[in-house]
Each structure stands twice: as C-alpha cells, then as structure tokens.
Structure 1
Amino acid sequence: MTTALVEGRAADLLRTTLREHVGPGPRRLLVVGLSRDDHPKATVLVFRPTDALPALALKVAMVPGAVPAVLAEAAALTAAAQLGPDLVGGTVPRVLDCRHAPDSAVLVTSVVPGVPMAVDYHRWRHTARPTTVRGDLDAAVSWLEQLARVPVPDRATSAPTDRVPTDPAAVAALVAARWPGDAEARTVEATVRGLSRELALPPGLPRTMVHGDFWCGNVLRTGGRVTGVVDWEHAQVAGDALRDVTRFVLAYLLYLDRHTDPGRPVSGHPGLVAGPWGEPVRFAASGAGWLSELVQAVVAGHLRRTGRDPGRWREALGIAAAEVAAVADEPAFARRHLALAAELLRCC
C-alpha cells in the first residue's frame, strides 16, 4: 500500500502504526480487500521482511466516513474477546491496537489463517455439485453452531451503531426509515413487522453473538474446515443466530449465476436459467431441485431447533433480504434487495 491509496493524515497514521508494530525499515504490505462503497476501507496484511506468513492484519479507514465502521469492528472484536480468550477455536481475530484521528482510523489485529470460501465458490462447477454446496453450507452452519454455544452476558449490548438490527421489528423500522413514503418499502415493512412475533427469537432462548455480515467472502477455510472469520464491523454481541444463517444462505444463492450468460441454463441446476438479478434466490425459494432441498434443510432446520415454524423458511430469507436493503451503503444494491424481499414475502 502506498500513498496513492492512503493520503494525508490517514497515511501519517498508517505509517506511525506500522513503525510502532513492526519497526522501521522494509516491510511487505498486501492489500487483500478494498471496499468499493462511498466510505471505503482497506484490509492489509503486513509481512516482516524475512517472514513467509503475515504478522498482522490492518483495517484502514480510507476516508473520514469510514472511521465509524473501523471503530465499530474494534469494539465488536473487543467484546468478542471478553466472551472467551480463544473464541471458537481461535477463529476470531484479536484486537492488538486501534488508532484513530478525526479523519482516519487503523485497526490492528492478529491474523487468522485460511483461504476465503469465496475462492472455492467461484471455481469451475463448484456450485454445480450437491456435495460441494452441502460442504460449504455444513462448514458455515457448524461454525455458527459453535459460536452459538458461547454464553453471552444477560445484559450484553451490540457494537456501538444504530444500524445493527436486533430482530425483525428492528429490520422493519430501518426499512421504513430508509425509504419514507415509498410504497414498496411500506409493504415490506408491514409484512416484516407482521412476522416479527413469529420469527423473532422465542422468549427464554439464549441470545448469541452475531457476526452480521456472514457470507463466504468473510469465511476462511483450511482443508475444508473454517479456520477464520473476518470483518466484524456489523456484529451484535447478544442477538439471534438466525440472522447469520439466513445472510449466509442469501448471499450464497445470489451469485450462483454469476458466470453464466443471461438466458443460459446454470450448470448443475436443472430449471435455473440465468436472468434477472436474484434469480437463483427465486429458484431456490420455489422448492425445485436439490438446491432448494439443501437451503430448506439449513434454514428450516435452524428455525425448528430454535422453536420457530420451519415452514417459514422463505419468509426468513425475505427478512434477511430486507435487512440488507436497510443497511447496505450502495443505493442500487439496497433497492434490489428491497424488491427481492418483497417477492420472498409476498406469500405471507
């Protein structure tokens, strides 16, 4: 990373942080993630000159508007560390330092090993095979189940942001606030609010830490096993694990036709034709084929285990789409999720 990416006082803060953590002299920096929203952040791995493995991971606010997100991630990881020193087998990064100024912030964490599941996801025909898709879903759900077994304090609070939904009613309120007076948003809001009692976590069941942006790009694996989960800026300390389950499934489905030309059949999924945005989600929600069976097994299975109606699995995915619509930074991306939520919730 050079000042071509980070300039001004942000670059000064980054240089100071690097010097104090790895010393003066040469070092190698590898940018492994650069968000493309209006408030971009960079994820950087830091290598000492003679090391083959990275020594540190940095999250850098590229502009002043990204500072709250970096600080929210620091707060969430600090709260996670208080739940246990080796959370979920050491798969959660540890905060080593956090520096911030009015117009920049740098979060320094330990490095968790593994390759993003998204790399496998985009390999040739990976998502065309039931065995590999089942393996992805099983790995993600297994990690979430381990996280759910970590007790959280009765009065635990979320990371410090008012954009962390706690339940369906909160999602409904965020949708209404983002699109006041919009007819489609009013419909989604009313439907989600109507489902809030049925699909909220039942009283008496323990809450768990929620990652909040749990998708295959943030899940790292080694040998098929989850060895790291990154990007915790949307985390909630005491929430409903259903949010992570449905977010993972929704994101997994959305890109199944990414490498297929419009109008062409999607390999491995008879009846699925690449077309309008979100078509794989509609296909899975229709109940057709092995993909729908796997999705239903994951979402309905979680609903059943947590005392909710497993027949509401489509609506649970609809609420997940509504949540993305409410909190996504990019307006067009948010609007597409709102329309998808309206479709998934139409049967309610």
Structure 2
Amino acid sequence: MIARASAPPESLPYPVVTLRRRSLADFIDSDAIETIVVGSSKDPNPKLTVLLIPEGSGQPRFALKVPTTDRAAAALEGEMRVLLALRGRCAEPARSTIPRVVGQVEMGGRWGLLMNALPGVTMTSRYHGWRHTARPGAVASDFALAGAWLAEFHRATAGPAMALEMDQGIGVLLAGRFGAVAGMDSTLRELDAIYARLREHRTPRTAVHGDFWYGNLLIAEGAVSGVVDWEAGSVLGEPARDLVRFASTYALYLDRHTRPGHLVVGHRGLRAGSFGGGLVYAMEGAGWFPDLFRHFVEEGLARLGASPGCWRDAVLAGIAEVAATADHPGFASGHLQLFQRLAGLRPPDTWTS
C-alpha cells in the first residue's frame, strides 16, 4: 500500500517524497540507518520521537513522530496536513526552517509521521544553562531570535487584515472544562470583554504555529534554524497567538532552578514557589525582564498593525487559551487561576519579596 501526499508546486526546492508504507525495521535496514535516538513527550497523549541517523553520518537525516494513543494519532494527522499546506504557501527563508513531510512509517502498530531532520539544538538547552535566564543579554538574544523568526514567518504567510481575534472557541472550551469552578461566570465575562477590546485592532491573517515556545525552537549559527511540533498549527489564523505564547512560556519557568521560597537570581523581587510567579512578575513587576517582556509583545503587536497598548489583553487571552487547551489538567488549572489572578478576579499571590 502506498501513502501519497499532496503534490507540491514544481518550484519548491524540497519536493515531498512518496514512500511505501513500511515498518520502522524495514526502513532502517533498507536505508542503512545506523543509530536511532528515542524521546517521548510528557503530555497525556504522548508521541515518540525517533531521530534516524544514516550510517557513518553522525547527523540525523529524518525525524519520526509516532503516536501512542488515538488522540495523538489525530494530532499527527493534523500536523501532517498543516506542514503539507505550508510547503506551498510559505516562502524562503522561513520555509527551510519548517519540517518537510517525507512519508509515513509504521512503528508499534501505528503509523508515524516521517520528516526531514532540521539542524540545530533546542533553545531549551540555552534556557536551562547555568544562570542563562539571569543574564539580560542572553535573554534579550533569545527574544530577538524568536522575534526575528516570527516577523519573517508572518511576512511569508501574510493574508488580509482582519479584527484581532484571540477567541478560537476558547470561552466555550473553558466553560465545558471548568464550568463547576467557583467564579467561572465572572471569569468568562472578563474574557469576553478582553476579546471585545482586542477586536478593535486589526492584524493580518497568517499561518500560526499554535505552540510557539522555546522548547520548539532549534538554534544554529545565531538564528532560528528550525521550528518543530506543528500539531496545533493552522495555515490561516491570528499571529498574535504565537507572539504572546513565546513571551508567556519564557516567563513561566524563570524560577525552575530556584528552591521554593528563595529569590530568583537576576530577577529582583521574584521569589520561587507559586505557579506562574514568573509570568506575574513579567506583567506586573519592575526590572529588566518585565521591560523586555512587555517590549517584545508591544513591538510585535505594532509590527502586525495593532496598538502596542493592547499588550496586556493579548497576553491574558493567550493565558486563557492554554487553560482551555492544555492536555495536562493541572497545567490547565494553573493557567486558569493565573488568568483570574492577573485579571483581578483572585487575591494577589505573595510573588514579590
């Protein structure tokens, strides 16, 4: 049986290869693959990631993602459709940083998505390096790299300008997920008001990654060399979603390497302990990181054609999106409480010294 992908335009430099549907073992044998490296995502519907390295190469040639549940399989189908569509829509240089679908390979009774392996190391390795997030220059470099890639990606996929729309059915999802939680009526009213204010601004419709955080960015030679994991992607959506996702997730883990109750090195006033303390600090605190955080979002919104003044509403809407869509219940609940705290619907946490 042959699995055939949609044929890309002839002008594309990386045509999609049609592969016979075959097992991973057969693929390794026939293509002289010497080494495989396996990793697994940590969400409730995990995917296995296998890097395939040709004999004598030392560098991965392919990346294979294999679902472990039916829901994970559906997510990979969606990722494949987005990646195939982006090949025909996204111009260089952004296109070369997006995985190219090669075909499908069977592993453990499920069909995995085979893509070319992109160069670079994840920004995660930088982020968790010794006191990396305590150094203004290092953090500013991370934000600059992400901002430059987003600007090019938005330019390469820009469509018509429309009202800034952060509500992707989020309110309905939140009501279904947390309807029994005390205070949800006021939470949803506040979220509706935020959406209404954001719609007063206009941004172009562009392709959207949907989970644009530092763990999905690859870095090589001083630039973003790859952006992976497009399961939540869309070929036409609201670009502000990716902008605020990067800033929010970067702030979220600032206290990861600090013991609870202790001050976080490099961030005066930030004390480790409560969920989302770094994000509260970024939005309401003072210092070099809150300034950088806000400037990144403001500058990105201005580039998209929206007023920089709506930065706080945009970030709050992004937090609500995570609360509605995150696989992990605890992570989702934490974001709901974080939204309520930052929207003034919950008492402030003791996040400052």
TM-score computed with the length of structure 1 as normaliser: 0.85
Q: Which residue of 1 aligns with 2:144?
A: 138
Q: Which residue of 2 aligns with 1:199?
A: 198
| CA deviation string 1:84-129 (max 9, x = no partner) | 3646051001001135799723000011111000100001111111
The reply on whether 1:30 has 2:29 as its aligned counterpart is: no
Q: 1:58 to 1:263 in 2, by over 3 A?
A: same
Question: Do the aligned partners of 1:318 and 1:340 also contact (CA within 8 Å) in 2?
Answer: no
Q: Which residue of 1 aligns with 2:324?
A: 326
Q: For the residues of structure 2 that align with 1:35 and 1:248, how far apart are their CA atoms? A: 19
Q: Report the CA distance between 1:321 and its aligned residue.
A: 1.1
Question: Do the aligned partners of 2:23 and 2:105 also contact (CA within 8 Å) in 1?
Answer: no
Residue identity over aligned pairs, in percent, reads: 38
Q: Which residue of 1 aligns with 2:9?
A: none
Q: 1:133 to 1:24 in 2, by over 3 A?
A: closer
Q: For the residues of structure 2 that align with 1:280 and 1:30, how far apart are their CA atoms? A: 33
SS where residue 48 of structure 2 aligns? strand
Question: Do the aligned partners of 1:70 and 1:233 also contact (CA within 8 Å) in 2?
Answer: yes
Q: For the residues of structure 1 that align with 2:167 and 2:68, how far apart are their CA atoms? A: 32
Q: Report the CA distance between 1:48 and its aligned residue.
A: 1.8
Question: Do the aligned partners of 2:87 and 2:95 also contact (CA within 8 Å) in 1?
Answer: no
Structure 2 gaps, min length 5: 1-19, 346-353
The reply on whether 1:299 has 2:308 as its aligned counterpart is: no
Q: 1:287 to 1:307 in 2, by over 3 A?
A: farther
Q: Which residue of 1 aligns with 2:156?
A: 150
The reply on whether 1:178 has 2:177 as its aligned counterpart is: yes
The reply on whether 1:45 has 2:51 as its aligned counterpart is: yes
Q: 1:237 to 1:269 in 2, by over 3 A?
A: same
Q: For the residues of structure 1 that align with 2:129 and 2:241, how far apart are their CA atoms? A: 27
Question: Do the aligned partners of 2:270 and 2:281 also contact (CA within 8 Å) in 1?
Answer: yes
Q: For the residues of structure 1 that align with 2:93 and 2:86, how far apart are their CA atoms? A: 7
Q: Which residue of 2 aligns with 1:110?
A: 116
The reply on whether 1:71 has 2:70 as its aligned counterpart is: no
Mapping of residues 1-348 of structure 1, within 5 Å: 16-17=23-24, 19-20=26-27, 23=30, 27-31=34-38, 33-84=39-90, 86=92, 88=94, 90-98=96-104, 104-151=110-157, 167-168=166-167, 170-200=169-199, 202-203=201-202, 205-346=203-344
Q: 1:46 to 1:339 in 2, by over 3 A?
A: same
Q: 1:315 to 1:333 in 2, by over 3 A?
A: same
Question: Do the aligned partners of 2:32 and 2:54 also contact (CA within 8 Å) in 1?
Answer: no
Q: For the residues of structure 2 that align with 1:242 and 1:63, how far apart are their CA atoms? A: 31
Q: 4+ residue stretches of structure 1 with deviation over 6 A?
A: 100-103
Q: Report the CA distance between 1:199 and its aligned residue.
A: 1.6
TM-score computed with the length of structure 2 as normaliser: 0.84
Question: Do the aligned partners of 2:166 and 2:238 also contact (CA within 8 Å) in 1?
Answer: yes
One-letter code of the match for 2:176?
A
Q: Size of the alignment, in residue pairs?
A: 322
Out of 130-139 and 174-183, give the one that drifted further: 174-183
SS where residue 149 of structure 1 aligns? helix
Q: Report the CA distance between 1:308 and its aligned residue.
A: 3.2
Structure 1 gaps, min length 5: 1-12, 155-165
Q: For the residues of structure 1 that align with 2:66 and 2:91, how far apart are their CA atoms? A: 25
Q: Which residue of 2 aligns with 1:158?
A: none
Q: CA RMSD in A?
A: 2.5
Q: For the residues of structure 2 that align with 1:181 and 1:332, how far apart are their CA atoms? A: 16
Q: For the residues of structure 2 that align with 1:87 and 1:341, how far apart are their CA atoms? A: 36
Q: For the residues of structure 1 that align with 2:157 and 2:91, how far apart are their CA atoms? A: 13
Q: Report the CA distance between 1:170 and its aligned residue.
A: 2.5
Q: For the residues of structure 2 that align with 1:274 and 1:296, how far apart are their CA atoms? A: 21
Q: 1:302 to 1:200 in 2, by over 3 A?
A: farther
Question: Do the aligned partners of 1:48 and 1:54 also contact (CA within 8 Å) in 2?
Answer: yes
Question: Do the aligned partners of 1:91 and 1:228 also contact (CA within 8 Å) in 2?
Answer: yes
More strand, by proportion: 2
Q: Report the CA distance between 1:268 and its aligned residue.
A: 0.8
Question: Do the aligned partners of 1:115 and 1:222 also contact (CA within 8 Å) in 2?
Answer: yes
One-letter code of the match for 1:109?
M
